[in-house]
Amino acid sequence: MFSPEGPTLRELAVQALSSVEHGYDLLAPKFDHTPYRTPDRVLDAVASALAPMGPFGTGLDLCCGTGAGVDVLARVCRERVTGVDFSAGMLEVARRRPAPPGPEVSWVRADARALPFGAEFDLVVSFGAFGHFLPRELPGLFGQVRSVLRPGGRFAFPVAAPPRPGSPGYWTLLGFDAAMRVRNALWRPPFVMYYRTFRLGDVGRELARAGFRAQLHALPEFGRRPDGSPRVRLVTARRTA
Ligand SMILES: C[S@@+](CC[C@H](N)C(=O)[O-])C[C@H]1O[C@@H](n2cnc3c(N)ncnc32)[C@H](O)[C@@H]1O
């Protein structure tokens, strides 16, 4: 699962006993060698799905980490692209990477739950970070995203179909979330990371409540499940007036 350049088991354990912010500070130098970085295959599929909806002017990568989503934005935005994350360590790695060609790129350290921007973005994307938010935080988080979008602007993120109940993937995620709940009951500070709490039905409802009109787009690169449903979808949510 991890390449030789990735973190050791001990390093992962220390990270998991830290807060989310400090945990990512510790992991940052090796983050790009872990499976937690969104794979290029997903980034490419999202960029292809967004391209016909653009071009966009300004873009924000929410919880950007080392900048996976900034590369997507650079392909579909013309003016300016910003990555925002609360881990100083992740941003340091992002800043050291060669800037993608195209729009001006900047990095901002801030909590996604209190974004320091006005309504200045045409597109907000986010990859691999929603597990760090509790379901009760979604209304506030989506409200923040709405507040930084221009009227008519879009919020876009990929969502994988949950593994079928009883499948090995199902038991793996169930086990991970259960272990995390035990860890958080016994240890402070908490490390919020749950795989099974970000459910498409709840997300659609919360987006509508926050003032978005959401659409689902199958990402054909990932195929379909035996029941015909897409394995991975892109959610695009348009800021309503
Ligand atoms: C799994 S990483 C994903 C990074 C990147 N988006 C990617 O796909 O490779 C999750 C990122 O979310 C950031 N994060 C988690 N909670 C956050 C919050 N409340 N505000 C800002 N960043 C946050 C972490 O610091 C980390 O960089």
Q: Which residues line ligand 1 (CB under 6 A)?
A: 20, 24, 36-38, 63-65, 68-69, 85-87, 90, 111-113, 127-129, 132
* Residue-wise pLDDT tens digits, 38-68: 999 999 999 999 999 999 999 999 999 999 9
Tokens (6 digits) for 26: 């510790």
Give the pLDDT of residue 1.
58
Give the CB-side neighbour count of residue 171, counting CA atoms within 13 A.
3
Give the pLDDT of residue 187.
86
Q: Which of 20, 241, 235 is nearest to 125 (CA)?
A: 235
Q: pTM for the whole thing?
A: 0.95
Q: Which of 141, 27, 154, 36 is nearest to 84 (CA)?
A: 141
Q: Which of 140, 135, 132, 151 is nearest to 212 (CA)?
A: 151
Pocket test for ligand 1, best of 42, 72, 85 (most atoms within 8 A of CB): 85
| Residue intervals in the chain for CATH 3.40.50.150 | 39-157
Give the pLDDT of residue 10.
85
Cα–Cα distance measured from residue 4 to residue 171, given in angstroms and rounded to the nearest whole number: 27
Give, in words, the CATH class of 39-157: alpha beta
* Ligand 1 centroid distance, CA of 199 (Å): 18
Chain length of the chain: 241
- Whether 164 contacts 170, CB under 8 Å: yes
**Residues of the chain under the 50 pLDDT cut:** none
3-state secondary structure of 220: helix
